[in-house]
Amino acid sequence: MKLPSFPDSFFTYFSAVAVNLLTYGGGMAYGWSSPALPKLNGQVDPEHNPLSQPITVREESWIASLLSLGAMISPLLAEFISEKIGRKKTLLALSLPMIIGHFIMIFANNVLHFYIARFLMGLTEGCIFSIIPVYSAEISEKHNRGTIGAIMLLFISIGHFSSSTIGPYVSLQNFGIISLVPCLLFLIIFGIFVPETPYFYVLVDKTDYARKCLKKLRRKDDIDEEMEEIIKGVKELKGTQDKNPYKELFTDKHSVRAFLIALNLMVLQQFTGLIYIVDYTQKIFDSAQTPLNGDISVILVTTIQVFSIASSTNTIDRVNRKVLLIISLIIIFLLQIILGAFFYLQQNNVDLKQVSWLPIACLMIFIMAFQLGIGPISYIFPGEILEPNVKSLGNTLVMSLGLLAEFGIATLFPLMSDQIGFYVPFWIFALTSFVAVFFVWFCVPETRGKSFLQIQNDVRNKEK
């Protein structure tokens, strides 16, 4: 069967890009900490600090981590609302906390203002991670599901890159104004031009709207075969709705197994250390006394991040996902061992000037390994493996618990680094990555190129 050409799928990709403008804003919020915290703690440009005095290490860790706390709380609310009013309206409504957060940042002159703003932004981040994967999966086709799903991480990385290239060179107030732009573009472009998903319309018995929506997405009238598949899938889902999804998720052995695999993969992804590296990239380079200025080193790393995730949008549907996961995790394990050893030796006053370039190289390779494997796959995976009747709830819980792990890392690891040693977090991340290799090898099923039904059958068959 001939696959649809790119022009046939153009509006599907356009819709995926439009919805991920909000993800771009979320990426800027995630990348904000690296250039902003050195300004708030007085290490960089102290005369333009909007606060009356520099922040402490504890305040620094809370400003960085409250984004994750907000993101942890909102997915359950977002999931509930999206089932009632649709994916599109939910995304539009829950983009507002991030917009309000940016406005607070622009006028902030107190640590409490930054706490509130970061928490509000986190509420939108949680919606991004829980609803955009669902929206993307429901507008995609079988042949481009992985690619469209990976666009989310591409836009996060572009947002992070934007923060790294703009943040060090503008005031925090101007940084807040610039960060508003993608969020406002999202409201306009996604709000006006992009439709709801056909799955949602079928779910609420609006089949005519679903047909119009699918025709708009596919840019063709011959959508009967795909429409029948959607209706069949929704009927199967409705056939299970008399069952309590909470009970099914935790009592049905197939659902429990799929949920635990998805959850463990997400938590292990968090413990590879990305959030710690994202929040403290500039501090890592400054501590390592690299030959390049910390700002320039950060830009190099985030540039690599953008190109890596752009490559992964093609690779992820061409190479078996287990292979990508295992290669990714082995590389991350080795790199974190090296980084930990570097900072351990530095703490013990070993002269490392000859290898001061090593942290730059390690983080560049780390970003490539993460974005070509464990990063995008861990976000796509829950939507592929979970049973239809618990998919929405299960995906939401996976995201929330993953973000809880992220909050813990962002809050506790900076304090651990300050009290015990800068090298300790890297060795913890290395240990976790080593464990993750064996988890993927023995527990994670292959999902590339398979229908949802085939994937779920693989999970059931593995239990026998």
* Highest mean pLDDT out of 39-43, 249-253, 279-283: 39-43
Give the side-chain half-sphere CA count within 13 A for 92: 15
Q: How far apart are CA 291 and CA 121, in angstroms?
A: 35
CA dihedral sign, ordered 357, 360, 366, 372: negative
Determine the pLDDT at residue 1.
37
Record the tokens describing residue 362, joined without a space. 């390690």
Residue pair 316/380 in contact (Cβ under 8 Å)? The answer is yes
**Residue range 329-342, pLDDT digits in tens:** 999 999 999 999 99
Determine the pLDDT at residue 185.
96
Residue pair 172/36 in contact (Cβ under 8 Å)? The answer is yes
Q: How far apart are CA 430 and CA 453, in angstroms?
A: 35
Determine the pLDDT at residue 373.
87
Give the side-chain half-sphere CA count within 13 A for 250: 5
- Domain borders along the chain are 10-194+239-463
Q: How far apart are CA 254 and CA 453, in angstroms?
A: 13
Going by C-alpha positions, the residue among 310, 459, 456, 463 that lies closest to residue 387 is 456
Residue 400 is inside which H or E element, if any? helix 391-419
B/e letters for 154-167, b = 16+ CB within 10 Å, e = fewer, are bbbbbbbbbbbbbb
> At residue 3, does pLDDT exceed 60?
no
Q: How far apart are CA 454 and CA 464, in angstroms?
A: 16
Q: How far apart are CA 39 and CA 28, in angstroms?
A: 17
Instruction: Report in angstroms the alpha-carbon separations of 239 from 107, 186, 232.
Output: 52, 35, 11
Going by C-alpha positions, the residue among 122, 102, 112, 124 that lies closest to residue 40 is 112
> At residue 140, does pLDDT exceed 90?
no
User: Which residue in this structure is represented by tokens 């390592």?
Assistant: 288
Residue pair 72/404 in contact (Cβ under 8 Å)? The answer is yes
Level-2 CATH architecture, domain 10-194+239-463 = Up-down Bundle (1.20)
Q: Can you give the pTM of this predicted structure?
A: 0.78
**Residue range 49-108, pLDDT digits in tens:** 888 899 988 898 899 889 989 998 888 888 889 988 999 999 999 999 999 999 999 999
Going by C-alpha positions, the residue among 280, 316, 312, 311 that lies closest to residue 298 is 280
Instruction: Report in angstroms the alpha-carbon separations of 374 from 1, 104, 369, 393, 458.
Output: 31, 34, 8, 22, 21
* Highest mean pLDDT out of 62-71, 292-301, 445-454: 62-71
> At residue 4, does pLDDT exceed 50?
no
Q: How far apart are CA 339 and CA 318, in angstroms?
A: 31
- Give the mean pLDDT of the chain: 85
Length of the chain: 464
**Residue range 350-409, pLDDT digits in tens:** 888 888 888 888 888 998 899 888 988 888 888 788 877 787 788 888 888 988 898 888
Burial (0-12, 13-18, 19+ Cβ within 10 Å), 247:
exposed
Q: Count the Cβ atoms, other than its own, within 10 Å of residue 23.
A: 26
**Residue range 423-447, pLDDT digits in tens:** 899 999 999 999 999 999 988 888 7
List own/partner pairs for 289-293 with CB under 8 A and 24 or more apart: 289/353, 289/356, 290/356, 290/357, 290/359, 290/360, 291/356, 291/357, 292/360
Going by C-alpha positions, the residue among 406, 410, 172, 179 that lies closest to residue 280 is 410
Give the side-chain half-sphere CA count within 13 A for 222: 2
Q: How far apart are CA 124 and CA 76, in angstroms?
A: 12
